[in-house]
Amino acid sequence: MKKRILLICGCLLAASILPGCGGSSAGENGELNVYNWGEYIDEDVIGLFEEETGIKVNYKTYDTNEDMYPIIANGAADWDVVCPSEYMIQKMLDNNLLLELNYDNIPNIANIDPDYMETVKSFDPDAAHAVPYLWGTVGILYNETMVDEPITSWDCLWDEKYADNIVMMNNPRDVFAPALISCGYSLNSTDDAELQKAAALLTQQKPLVLKYTTDEVRDMMIGEKAAIGVIYSGEATICKDENENLQYVVPEEGSNVWLDCWVIPSTCKNKENAEKWIDFLCRPDIALKNFEYIYYSTPNKAMLDLIEDKEILNNEALFPGNEVLSRCETFHYLGEEAEEKYNDLWKQVLSE
């Protein structure tokens, strides 16, 4: 009998030690669990933050907003600070998943261009939950040597001469956006007839598509595996650095412009540390370090003054002019019912 009790105790002990491991390695000023997009920070910045604050950072990444949401919503892990896009922030707000920020702890927010704080109000009416981090557009990256004429329109995605040369993103809203825009509809459409028509276009396009992927577009375009890829603006800039034949264009019919912000989810256990993190990233020198590593457009106007190579400010992909932006639209959160509609239609397209 004694042996049995001993064994059970042993098991319980082992079970209780295992989750404790994480806690024991915390820094002198506690820890911070950061959940961010993949390839969305200069990882040296994490080290700098740890050095300056004595806070241990546990860092992990996700590929899409949709991957991140269920983790937060179901409380699958205690993330302290995350970086979703505007429509996802709206969805998280709707579901009471965000905490209000204490701006006294984020003095560096003064560096953020007030225009962007206005944009924040479009999805967070009190502008009390989100601090803009990076923004950009969605457009077409094409290889000049593999296409016959300069690309200016989404129409090329349906052009049969580019069969097996087209790479599309692979989550429902990003895939539907070009189709909806080509039909002349809003990329926030929830109208059944409009969505059906867009789905029909996507079904028609499917045989021409080489691959549906969000995270491989970059490598495929650099490696010249495809002529045309739908891609985020920041990634496009990195691709152009690697392969000079590549050109990025925001199609004339319009496109998606997005703004990613840091927010603190309700699963947060270290709110002050999370605010310190957000404040740190708003510092011009840190923002510049990030910018030079990931090349997305920044809402940090104090940082723009620090840029030495002013030439880069003329880069249309990084800093699109007002003329381009006026054609673009942000995603809105459309509600669960509409989300399911997109998802079901996307499955139908894929199962054709």
Q: Considering the rule CB under 8 A, would residue 84 count as an interface residue with another protein?
A: no
Q: Residues 296-333, buried b or exposed e (16+ Cβ, 10 A)?
A: bbbbbbbbbeeeeeeeeeeeebbebeeebeebbbbbbb
Q: Please tell me whether residue 326 adopts helix, strand or coil conformation.
A: coil
Distance of CA 203 to the CA centre of its chain: 26
Question: Closest approach of Cβ 296 to another protein, in Å?
Answer: 23
C-beta closer to another protein: residue 65 or 267: 65
Distance of CA 50 to the CA centre of its chain: 24
Q: Considering the rule CB under 8 A, would residue 69 count as an interface residue with another protein?
A: yes
**Interface characters, 119-148, with another protein (x: CB under 8 A):** ------------------------------
C-beta closer to another protein: residue 218 or 289: 218
- SS3 per residue for 89-146: HHHHHHCCCECCCCHHHCHHHHHECHHHHHHHHCCCCCCCCEEEEEEEEEEEEEEHHH
Which span sits near another protein by CB under 8 A: 27-35, 39-47, 61-69, 147-155?
A: 61-69
In whole angstroms, what is the distance from residue 344 CA to residue 4 CA?
Answer: 53
Q: Considering the rule CB under 8 A, would residue 310 count as an interface residue with another protein?
A: no
Q: Considering the rule CB under 8 A, would residue 270 count as an interface residue with another protein?
A: no
Q: Hey, which residues does 206 pair with through a beta bridge?
A: none
Q: What is the total count of residues that contact another protein (CB under 8 A)?
A: 35
Residues 307, 288: contact at Cβ < 8 Å?
yes
Residues 321-350 that bind another protein (CB under 8 A): 336, 339-340, 343-344, 347-348, 350
Q: Considering the rule CB under 8 A, would residue 87 count as an interface residue with another protein?
A: no
Torsion angles phi and psi, residue 167, rounded to 5:
-115, 130
In whole angstroms, what is the distance from residue 263 CA to residue 218 CA?
Answer: 27
Binding-site member from 7, 163, 306, 313 for another protein (CB under 8 A):
7
How many C-beta neighbours within 10 Å does residue 258 have? 23
Question: Closest approach of Cβ 351 to another protein, in Å?
Answer: 4
Binding-site member from 39, 50, 67, 272 for another protein (CB under 8 A):
67
Question: Closest approach of Cβ 11 to another protein, in Å?
Answer: 5
Q: Considering the rule CB under 8 A, would residue 16 count as an interface residue with another protein?
A: no
Interface contacts to another protein, rule CB under 8 A: 3-4, 7-8, 11, 15, 64-67, 69-70, 73-74, 164, 170-172, 206, 209-213, 224-225, 336, 339-340, 343-344, 347-348, 350-351
